[in-house]
A and B are shown apart, each in its own frame.
Chain A
């Protein structure tokens, strides 16, 4: 059984404080270079299958990007990946999702894998597109956001638990080969040992230039970027349509009106509650929960 895991080595923002709204830049100190957390879960899942199947299973890691991505591949091999593939091209760093997927496809197509695993999205771009694009290029089924994966005896089928949010899940049976994208909750990634990290320094990484990729992949990559991130800013909340509250209503009626969609809009900067009366503090807390969609009516769940 051959499993390909797509790895993204990128630059991630650790805290919102690192963003300077005056000149729309991010302070270098709040950025960290690392492997996308969801991809770590994907690799861990592949390694667990390998743990169970032993030599019959090979785990390949594939990444697209500049030379610094090599560090990520060595880390993955230290964890237990058998082979590493690197489409080494700085122009493909943080590129259009379609182009990243095409480059990955350009390698994975040649590997003839039974299973392809990706993180469900990148922590920076939050797109969730690459896994789906890859499935389309490879003409395979795709199931996103999986939290559990079981392969049958002869590797022809998989039972997956797909997360629908709030702990709800559906169990699906999928033929293999297939592409699955994983959720963070699927497992806890292991750590490498120092010895395995040292050994990984000497291991071979197969490098691909654009020229070595599948023809179809090259065509897509050589096209111009289809979408471009043009500006970054702090999040701005969209105002919902509201009407002004009648202050003559009782507290219960006002809460009821707020719950059914109307009510005086709280300022978005109003995130500090210090009230003498616990009832008032509780009221403001509930308003916040409602505004952010966390107040689910028990007994009215879909």
Chain B
């Protein structure tokens, strides 16, 4: 059977198409154009037809030829086994060349289960997807904890699968609207589930979560000068949803509690963002945070060791720069909060 082009999974949030799906559709559309093949989206759920119809205006701007939907009460909650069974069936029936999902927890789990069922290639968390005219995928993704980038090629087996990192590109809607055809194939839904039971949801309070879990950490050191400096730290941390921490000096001086100490004798952390202010960055400190994805340092000393491992180096006085930044961020929030 002839291959049916590029497929992308639609994810939903609160009864609407999730915004990250439009990023995925933008990336997928490029591939469909290159192979001059069909571009289709897939959606599962208990009320998915209505959901898609409500979003059809926006979906029509992404060059989709078809949207395949599978609707059943059993699909109300995501269950990787049930969804993977249906997804694999659809793939076997329609034979797409490339299958894409967003690199969310759901997308990765589902893509993995489908790839394992079909015994086909999958590259997760991609930052760039390209293809040749035959549909041979080339997937670019970060490796070595974002320090390097790798390009993956696939064997000749189809489908070729990838999950695409959300939040990387802006959605790229077209100017003309082309309404896709909605197809609802007959698929048997397996009742053999073992879904996890949802118990509750905790919103993380950066003030109280363990530093090991924090995505953003704002740390202060000797340069804070006094306990008053901690206020600056806390204000910035609040504005960027970060957790406060300190170097050994800051903790020894009683400015921050022991459980917030970073370093060889403190905690080892690897957040997405580490902001170090007034910290020189001796090797013992670096050991505690060198695995951070991005490091911003603010220090008056141009030759501070911390700058060697920083992605953004700010030479200056934190007592002047940070309050100014706090002021500007607050002003921005006000601008955005106002209607």
In the complex, whether B75 has a CB less than 8 A from a CB of chain A is no
Chain A contacts of B213 at CB under 8 A?
147, 163, 167, 183, 185
**How many positions in chain B have a CB within 8 Å of any CB in the partner chain?**
97
Whole-angstrom distance from the CB of B233 to the nearest CB of chain A? 15
Whole-angstrom distance from the CB of A48 to the nearest CB of chain B? 15
**How long is the Cα–Cα vector from A148 to B111 in the complex, in angstroms?**
25
A interface majority secondary structure = mixed
In the complex, whether B203 has a CB less than 8 A from a CB of chain A is yes
Contact of B172 among A97, A140, A223, A241 (CB under 8 A): A241
Q: Do B115 and A172 touch across chains, with their CB atoms under 8 A apart?
A: no
Known interface pairs A142-B109, A168-B201; A272-B324 also in contact (CB < 8 Å): no
The interface-forming segment of B3-11, B66-74, B192-200 is B192-200
In the complex, whether B174 has a CB less than 8 A from a CB of chain A is no
In the complex, whether B119 has a CB less than 8 A from a CB of chain A is yes
Contact of A286 among B141, B317, B329 (CB under 8 A): B329
**How long is the Cα–Cα vector from A288 to B297 in the complex, in angstroms?**
12
In the complex, whether A124 has a CB less than 8 A from a CB of chain B is yes
In the complex, whether B239 has a CB less than 8 A from a CB of chain A is yes
Whole-angstrom distance from the CB of B95 to the nearest CB of chain A? 17
B interface majority secondary structure = mixed
Most chain A CB within 10 A, of B150, B172, B205, B327, is at B150
Most chain A CB within 10 A, of B112, B212, B328, is at B112
Chain A contacts of B320 at CB under 8 A?
278
Q: Do B116 and A98 touch across chains, with their CB atoms under 8 A apart?
A: yes
**Which residue on B lies nearest to A298, using beta carbons?**
B333
Chain A contacts of B317 at CB under 8 A?
278
| Interface members, chain B 46-91 (any A CB < 8 Å) | 80-81, 84
Q: Do B116 and A136 touch across chains, with their CB atoms under 8 A apart?
A: yes
In the complex, whether B157 has a CB less than 8 A from a CB of chain A is yes
- Chain A 286-302, CB within 8 Å of chain B: the 1/0 string? 10110011111111111
Q: Do B142 and A256 touch across chains, with their CB atoms under 8 A apart?
A: no
Q: Do A285 and B201 touch across chains, with their CB atoms under 8 A apart?
A: no
In the complex, whether B257 has a CB less than 8 A from a CB of chain A is no
Whole-angstrom distance from the CB of B270 to the nearest CB of chain A? 6
Instruction: Give the B-binding residues of A (Cβ under 8 A).
Output: 12-13, 15-16, 19, 96-98, 101, 123-129, 132-133, 135-137, 140-145, 147, 159-175, 183-185, 188, 220, 223-236, 238, 240-241, 252, 255-256, 259, 261, 271-275, 278-279, 281-286, 288-289, 292-302
Extra pairs beyond A19-B147, A144-B105, A281-B321 (12, CB < 8 Å): A13-B144, A13-B148, A97-B122, A128-B125, A142-B80, A166-B241, A169-B204, A171-B199, A184-B212, A255-B332, A299-B333, A300-B336
Instruction: Give the A-binding residues of B (Cβ under 8 A).
Output: 13, 80-81, 84, 105, 108-109, 112-113, 115-117, 119-125, 127-128, 139, 141-155, 157, 167-170, 172, 194-206, 209-210, 212-216, 238-241, 243, 270, 272-273, 294, 296, 298, 302, 310-317, 320-322, 324-325, 327-329, 331-333, 335-337
Q: Which 6 A-B pairs have the closest CB atoms?
A: A167-B204, A132-B112, A185-B212, A226-B121, A136-B116, A167-B209
